[in-house]
Structure 1
Amino acid sequence: MKKLIKLFFCFTGLALSACQNDPDYKAVRQQVLDQHDKIMMDGEKAMTFKMKLDTLAMSALAKFKQQQPSLDTTAELQQLKTLSKKLNDADERMNDWMHNFKTDVDGKTNAEAVSYFNGEQVKIRQLDSIYKMVLKESADYLKRFNVKTDTSMKTMDHMKM
């Protein structure tokens, strides 16, 4: 009798697990949207860093040259341009993703919608990696010149160098 009860519970468990559906597309879509919102904050930080890099290139680098005559301003300007371009590229990739992202799944089955949003989740995670990499690279560069990389509202009001 105990074997029959165990067997019944095993089959019940298997039957229940076999009947589980794909996750609801709305849950997967929300994960993508939540990740997007998080990355948008990185996008704002990237634009703040870009402004600081531009300020460094336009005026502050000359001051550092006076303090450190051996500073190769040509090489530094090239590095500033490279970092600025990487920040712009990350921002453009994010804009492209947002332009192409569709929240409307009319005409798709739940499984098709889940598949679409899972694909978008991969893309948004790649964007997150790109932002993290370029933000770290930019922050490290700015710190070399004692530029504060804190992006709180207080710092955004006045650029501190």
Structure 2
Amino acid sequence: MKNKITVIASALILFFGACNTDPKANDIKKEVLNIHDKLMMDGEKVIKNKMKLESILKSDKIKSAKDSLSLAELIFRLNKADENMMDWMHFFKDDFKGKTEQEDLDYYKSEMVKIRAVEDGYIKVTGESDSVLKVYNILPAEKIDTMHHKH
């Protein structure tokens, strides 16, 4: 009887242990790295849009000083978004090892917050730069790349 209770208790412990829905540090780390990988591709668009806006700024397409200042400010924000990504990458510790699983989990959760903030910045500034490029009848970087791949 004692043996049967031990087996049942062990099975219950294994079952409830397997049902643990708490995130693991490695799972969050993997998600952080996946976001990073996506942002690396988005970063190319940030740079391409910045270069296109700089060429507009140097051209005779600018209608007013106000437009010129708006473009310069948008270029500054594209640079800042790219710098934020570089800063995050510089300080991110891919091989972080805390003293406990909880410390690892806390570290990767905090990195998730940081990389999501970088992602939000990219989304906002690329959307704005895409809109401005369209005003000047210039296709955003993403559309040009897909057009080249169709040929």
Percent sequence identity over matched residues? 38
2:136 and 2:98 mapped to 1: Cα distance? 55
Count of residue pairs brought into register by the alignment: 136
Once the two structures are TM-superposed, the CA of residue 89 in structure 1 deviates from its matched residue by 0.4
Structure-2 separation of matches of 1:17 and 1:106 = 23
Matched with 2:97 is 106
TM-score, L = length of structure 2: 0.79
1:26 maps to which residue?
A: 26
- Show the 5 A alignment for 1:7-156: 12=12, 16=16, 20=20, 22-59=22-59, 62=60, 64=61, 71-72=63-64, 74-151=65-142, 152-153=144-145
SS in 2 for 1:41: helix
Point out where structure 2 has 5 or more consecutive residues left out of the alignment.
1-7
Which residue of structure 1 lines up, in the alignment, with residue 3 of structure 2?
none
- Which residue number corresponds to residue 5 of structure 1? none
User: Counterpart amino acid of 1:90?
Assistant: A
How far apart in 1 are the matches of 2:81 and 2:66? 23
Cα separation, 1, equivalents of 2:95 and 2:39: 21
Residue 106 of structure 1: CA displacement? 3.0
Indicate conservation of the 8 Å contact 2:49/2:141, yes or no.
Answer: no
Q: Which AA in structure 2 matches 1:113? A: D
Q: In the TM superposition, what whole-angstrom CA distance separates every residue of 1:133-159 from its partner, at most 9, and x where no partner exists?
A: 000111111110101114344779xxx
**Contact 2:85/2:118, CA 8 A, preserved across alignment:** yes
**Aligned amino acid, residue 97 of structure 1:** W
Q: Following the alignment from structure 2 to structure 1, what is the Cα–Cα distance between the partners of residues 75 and 47?
A: 9
* CA distance 1:155–1:18, shift in 2 (3 Å): closer
Given residue 28 of structure 2, which amino acid in structure 1 is its aligned partner? Answer: V
1:52-91 Cα shifts (integer Å, max 9, x gaps): 00111112xx1x36xxxxx32x112111110100000001
**Structure 1 unmatched runs, 5+:** 1-7, 66-70, 157-161
Cα offsets for 1:89-131 (capped at 9, x unmatched): 0011111111110011234322110111011001111111111
